[in-house]
Structure 1
Amino acid sequence: MSRTGNYKSVTHVIFDMDGLLLDTERLYTVSFQEICDRKIQEKIFPSAELMPGVERLIRHLHSYNIPIAVATSSAGQTFEMKTSQHKDFFSLFSHIVLGDDGDVKNGKPQPDSFLVCASRFNPAAQPEKCLVFEDAPNGVLAGRAAGMQVVMIPDDNLDRGLTQEASMVLRTMEEFKPELFGLPAYS
């Protein structure tokens, strides 16, 4: 499934959240089936689980002091609901750029969220030195527009024609080999 190619070494890693770090897509389906009752989201979003391979990769990168951050389209209140059971995990990221961040003028597929995220690393990261993880076609387009390489981990039901822009396509985070991008290999 993964595309072969010459991958450039990176120094920073940026992650989307919904459907990539957290299994929230399934919960959206559940809440829409509950007649789009907004109040139901407060009950079910805290039950979001981490996706396979996510905790291992984040803790691995963190242990090697690789700067990591999150760029999500979720707004503050929704983010708090979704991450309430994973406070320790999300504390590993150097920063988190939310969908309602004042500096993010345009949502994905525009590159704003990833460029703002890169600029907030200390010191700021060059976009070409950032690797993005995404599950959605608009997120892949945003990462590419920002000048970044993008690893896509799409939903199994996604039309494969919508994965063309990604630098690499994987079934799960468990398949990722950090050393392909110049990052420390798993021991």
Structure 2
Amino acid sequence: MEDTAKEPSTFRPVTHVIFDLDGLLLNTEIFYTEVLDDLCGKYGKKFTWELKHQMMGRKERDSAQFAIDALGLPISVDEYIAHVREELNRLLPTSRFMPGAEKLVKHLYEHGVTMAIATGSDSFTFRKKTTNHGDFLQMFTHYVLSGDDPQVRNGKPFPDIFLVCASRFPTKVNPEDILVFEDALNGVKAAVAAGMQVVAVPDERADLSEFSDATLILKSLLDFRPEAFGLPAFGS
């Protein structure tokens, strides 16, 4: 599953990298599906892939309101979030790396590539997800959590999170010199709106035609070749 519409020769060399977190670096999306399947089932509603696809990448409260409106759930945003957080508190600390994530980040770090994380998570869920990945986090200069970062006024698909993340790199960097990795369509749209190249690694259920704005579409991070974007090749 790779986008062949764009040839590697059209890719711009980059100096900095921004990663999404959920479903891209960590397998936490499966936990959100499990929890929301249960919550929606309590009210006789079905949490579908189509709904999840539209929610991915949004801020926590935006995502909650979207689900409530779409399904007509008879609960408030605060009640929705309270239920989800209670269940995620149990599940998120068991998160594991997505295929190729640890290898790629470690490779880039060892070759001096500056990296950051930009996620729709808030501080609470971010801590839970990364409970057992403290050493991994040390390889990033910073992480932007749009769920409770006051400078990120609008969540994905707006570009705010990536522009804020770029502004916090230790040295000034232009958007065109940044490569974003995303699994969600909203995240791809946000990166493109920010003027950055973006590698999409969608869920296998996704309609790839919706990701046509991505610079490159891959089945897995295992398939990424850093040298295509001017980054150090594996084995170098």
TM-score normalised to structure 1 length: 0.97
**Matched residue, 2:38:** 34
* Count of aligned positions: 187
Equivalent residue runs for 1:127-138 within 5 Å: 127-138=175-186
**Matched residue, 1:25:** 29
Post-superposition offset of 1:44: 0.3
Unaligned runs of at least 5 residues, structure 1: none
**Matched residue, 1:63:** 110
SS in 2 for 1:2: coil
Per-residue CA distance 1:118-175 (angstroms, 9 max, x = gap):
1111112110000000001110010001100000000000112211110000000000
Q: Does 1:79 align with 2:126?
A: yes
**Matched residue, 1:12:** 16
- Which residue of 167, 180, 203 corresponds with 1:119? 167
Q: Does 1:158 align with 2:206?
A: yes
Which structure would you say has the larger Rg?
2
Partner Cα distance (2:35, 2:93) in 1: 13
**Is the CA contact (8 Å cut-off) linking 1:16 and 1:72 kept in structure 2?**
yes
**Is the CA contact (8 Å cut-off) linking 1:34 and 1:40 kept in structure 2?**
no
Per-residue CA distance 1:81-140 (angstroms, 9 max, x = gap):
111111111111000000121111111111110011111111121100000000011100
**Matched residue, 2:232:** 184
**Matched residue, 1:96:** 143
Partner Cα distance (2:142, 2:170) in 1: 10
More helix by share: 2
Partner Cα distance (1:32, 1:116) in 2: 30
Unaligned runs of at least 5 residues, structure 2: 41-82
TM-score normalised to structure 2 length: 0.77
Measured on the aligned residues, the alpha-carbon RMSD in Å equals 1.1
Give the aligned residue type for 1:60: H
What percentage of residue pairs aligned between the two structures are identical?
48
Runs in 1 of length 4+ with deviation above 6 angstroms? none
